[in-house]
Amino acid sequence: MMAAVRSFLQRIAAIFYTRTLFYTRTQKSEHNMSSTRRPLIVGNWKMNLDHREATYFVQKLAWLLRDAHFDYEDCDIALLPPFTSIRSVQVLVEADRLHVDYGAQTVSVTAQGAFTGDVSADMLSALGCRYVLVGHSERRRYHSDDDANLVDQVRAVLADGMQPILCVGEGYEERREGIELDYAVGQVDDITRDLSEEDARKMIIAYEPVWAIGTGLVATPQSAQDAAAAIRTHLTRTYSPETAQTVRILYGGSVTAQNATLIMNEARDMDGFLIGGASLNPEEFSSIIRLTHKAAKKRV
């Protein structure tokens, strides 16, 4: 009985810590709005790195950034491990007091019960997760995550005090037809149109043209800027200019250390990156983090 009570109290403490941290950082971000949105670099590990590899990666990343005298005060870093590695990342982050956030790659829309294989938002929050990816193209394609399901995912994530990272972006067909901006904005509208303005401000939007994911192809900085500007225009019309300037927008799709600086320099409505393959290499990932941070500081 005492063990059960202790476990329950630890879980409540973890949830309280996560929500307090989220509120503090959200307030800090909103205070610095407009020209000083904090850059965010997110590593989406997909189905890679077991718990031992995750431990090595986090330690290596921390060493690399420490040796580079990286200033965490102006930049947010997050890792999205597989479910089986989240606890290992949590232990390191909390024990070593690392300035790295973490989260999950998807979430169940149900809270608990007979849903084999599902993981609830409440469970993720109890692990200290700050972010949850919603609507990645691979989830839409291979797991049939439709708009109704994604709306419920967003609501579940917000209800447990975490931030959804909503993925949008066109495929080859939409790009060929010249409707890529309408398509991406339409996806944003489909998922967010019924959110309150308060909840909308907590969203992070990742523009990931599907044709660029894992292909080595990358959108031009102008294309990335056009997409981000279109999304901000939509948020202005739906909510307010303040909300449009609050929401952080990331670019994803074959991001490397070679193209990160160019995108950040020229796509000024972009606030960072959602990185796939390059986030599996701590040296490459740390390089992208430092280059993004440097480019963002030039905007102020």
State the binding site: 44-46, 214, 254, 276-277
CB 207 within 8 A of CB 250: yes
Reply yes or no on whether 234 is catalytic.
no
Of 162, 60, 48, the residue nearest 101 (C-alpha): 162
Which residues, at least 6 apart from 4, have a Cβ–Cβ distance to it below 8 Å? none
Residue 193 CB coordination number (10 Å):
11
Q: Is position 136 annotated as part of the catalytic site?
A: yes
CA nearest 198: which of 30, 80, 1, 7?
A: 30
Burial class of residue 22 (count of CB atoms within 10 Å of its CB; 0-12, 13-18, 19+) = buried
Q: How many CA atoms lie within 13 A of 80 on its CB side?
A: 25
Provide the 8-state DSSP code for 216.
S
Binding-site members for substrate are: 44-46, 214, 254, 276-277
Active-site residue, selected from the candidate residues 136, 138, 234, 293: 136
DSSP character at residue 207 = E
Q: Are 101 and 86 in contact (CB under 8 A)?
A: no
CA-based nearest residue to 248, from 298, 292, 190, 183: 292
Of the candidates 36, 85, 92, the residue with the CA atom closest to the CA atom of residue 59: 92
Q: What's the full length of the chain, in residues?
A: 300
For 34, half-sphere exposure in the C-beta direction (CA atoms, 13 angstrom radius) is 4
Point out the catalytic residue in the list 138, 170, 208, 293.
Answer: 208
Instruction: Tell me how crowded residue 95 is: count the other CB atoms within 10 A of its CB.
Output: 8
Q: Which residues carry out catalysis?
A: 136, 208
